[in-house]
Amino acid sequence: MSMAKVEEKEILKALYDLEQERWPEVLNFISYLKYIRTREPESSAKPRTAQDMLQSELVGLWADRDDITDSLSFARQLRRQAEHRHRNDNATS
């Protein structure tokens, strides 16, 4: 994927082209992006404690999702999809 400047209207068009049932996934991904942007660089990061994780925005991120009955299976599915997209992106580069 190109890192060229993206216009807001492009993002909105892509969102509207996506079925509304998938919009919660978009919000989850945006939350993830905001989280990783605020993290310290790995080289200077101190280990996170369980208390740190409980206070993060990540805990409970999927709590309101009625379509996720097994969070471990759902996370595995997302990883497989991401790996598949990554392989396809590399094949077309």
Residue environment code for 76-87, b if the CB has 16+ CB neighbours within 10 A, otherwise e: eeeeeeeeeeee
Q: How far apart are CA 65 and CA 57, in angstroms?
A: 15
Q: The pTM is what?
A: 0.40
Q: How many residues does the chain have?
A: 93
Average pLDDT over residues 26-54: 78
Residue 11 in this model has a pLDDT that exceeds 80:
yes
- pLDDT interval class at 8 (50, 70, 90): very high
In the prediction, which pLDDT does 6 show? Answer: 86
Closest CA to 57 of 77, 90, 27: 27
In the prediction, which pLDDT does 41 show? Answer: 63
- pLDDT interval class at 90 (50, 70, 90): low
Contact 11, 30 (CB under 8 A): no
